[in-house]
Structure 1
């Protein structure tokens, strides 16, 4: 178990460093923070980094059996519950942005302006806060004032007193899962139809687009499965606490770390403009890079990179 803890800490440190590097690159170039898909990409990086940091603290506390006061645990859980949902909802927004760019290119500039993106970020956080508000509202209505001063091993399950609260949380997450799946399937079917028609005989471009879509879908699937992990852990907790700790570590690696490892691969390294900017700043300017942006040459960029994101 100690070896697994060390491996998790190393992975968290690596992913946080990569995310910080990508975030710094994002703020270095003006067109990145004025282009919708790059802004949403940065939202996922910030959300993932914050979630990794907070959840890792909680994991260390649980592993060391270190009890903290319930009120402090609730504060930690607020951020974990919120940002565990922000990433999949942001991925849905990125999917819709690609749908507009590919299926309605003439309206892309209007619907995906910087101002609209800022409003979209507010909507993302508003929708993501719904599970947090529901879970904590039922907790506040059920907990006594003295409970907040007690010392407990911190976990999300500390907010659950009754079985109906568990069922309510389960129904809420499953409803979100269903809505996200419907949106993703609809957008991907439409995008792939347009992509195949637009690519013609360019089989290489079609294959690249297909790989990107599959990676994007796989990442979203992992994030959505993450919404179900609390239910698996709660069931195992009723059987054996040691097994519960093992399952929590496995879930953390597979459904927290893995999806957040895919973000830099899909949206950072595979995007030509962003990748060249990464090399430029990583080499302290020694690696020459064209500082042109997609919107500088939208028509040619759209025809050449229709399938990349």
Structure 2
């Protein structure tokens, strides 16, 4: 009898420790991501040349979208870990933002690939909608398109008759609002269409720019750089698609490793949701030499190293 009374307390302690470890893994990583994103956005806002380029404007839009997606995702994760319950009326907006920003991610990648295509093939007669002062129209259109799937999903929603949308406390999970088979079919269809369309656009722009690289003899460096950029967008799309490997990885873990269901879900969430979202904008942003140099100047740890060299260089130039 004594062993029976001790077992639940040990199990509870182990479960609590597991939650603490998961939270301690996610929060620092998310904090580092936010710091890098805010540093990039501060760099964009502080230097006019970035705001005069459609490519950088779309990239800033992607940073804002990924930040909202990760913020809503991490909040949902913390609420589930803490078993926080609240009414559907407060849960639905959070889920709406999470789904809409997830759908918006690949659309932004497609727009960025098309922007490189337009910049290479129409350098002097660039379409008006792709110019820096009008690119916000494309960004707004992408946001409207990405909001349609979650809006339709919520229209199809049929809450339990015992629930009160305004008062019944529930754990905020997608499964709470997406219980009908037609909703599952709708989400799968939309995801397939979205990612297939984006993959076709990226492949099309890559092949066209590749063919143009072989034809051009002058300004070949800029075309090659655009080719590498489109290829990087394909890698970013591949990172986004990794979220759909949940069923495969879950079955593999169940067959080979005896993990609890909560641990399997966290492994999938961390490896295929958080990490790709963390790496995607950072890889793209830190790859850019001009953006990286300005970011170093804005960071306190680099500023002390850069400023003395800058002063010496200015003094040397004045002597000449």
Q: Which residue of 1 aligns with 2:142?
A: 124
1:189 equivalenced with 2:221 (yes/no): no
**93-102 or 67-76, which deviates more:** 67-76
Q: Which residue of 1 aligns with 2:92?
A: 74
Alpha-carbon contact 1:62-1:153 (below 8 Å) kept = yes
Alpha-carbon offset, residue 145 of structure 1: 8.9
**CA, structure 1 residues 230+180, in 2 after alignment: closer, same or farther (shift >3 Å)?**
same
Alpha-carbon offset, residue 262 of structure 1: 2.6
Q: Which residue of 1 aligns with 2:240?
A: 223
**66-75 or 240-249, which deviates more:** 240-249
Alpha-carbon offset, residue 103 of structure 1: 2.6
Instruction: Determine the C-alpha separation between the residues in 1 that align with 2:135 and 2:292.
Output: 23
Give aligned pairs, total: 282
Alpha-carbon offset, residue 75 of structure 1: 1.5
Q: Report the TM-score when normalising by structure 2.
A: 0.77
**249-258 or 213-222, which deviates more:** 249-258
Q: Which residue of 1 aligns with 2:164?
A: 147
Provide Cα deviations, 1:176-205, integer angstroms capped at 9, x if missing partner. 1221111111111112222343368989x9
Q: Which residue of 2 aligns with 1:162?
A: 180
Match of 1:32 among 21, 30, 50: 50
Gaps of 5+ in 2: 1-17, 253-257, 312-320
Alpha-carbon offset, residue 246 of structure 1: 2.4
**CA, structure 1 residues 55+201, in 2 after alignment: closer, same or farther (shift >3 Å)?**
closer
Instruction: Determine the C-alpha separation between the residues in 1 that align with 2:142 and 2:98.
Output: 15
Other structure's SS at 2:29 match? helix
RMSD: 3.2
Match of 2:297 among 252, 259, 280: 280
Match of 2:124 among 96, 106, 110: 106
Other structure's SS at 2:179 match? coil
Gaps of 5+ in 1: 290-309
Q: Which residue of 2 aligns with 1:299?
A: none
Other structure's SS at 1:65 match? coil
What are the equivalent positions in structure 2 for 1:224-303 lying under 5 Å apart?
224-226=241-243, 228=244, 242-243=260-261, 246-266=264-284, 268-282=285-299, 283=302, 286=307, 288=310
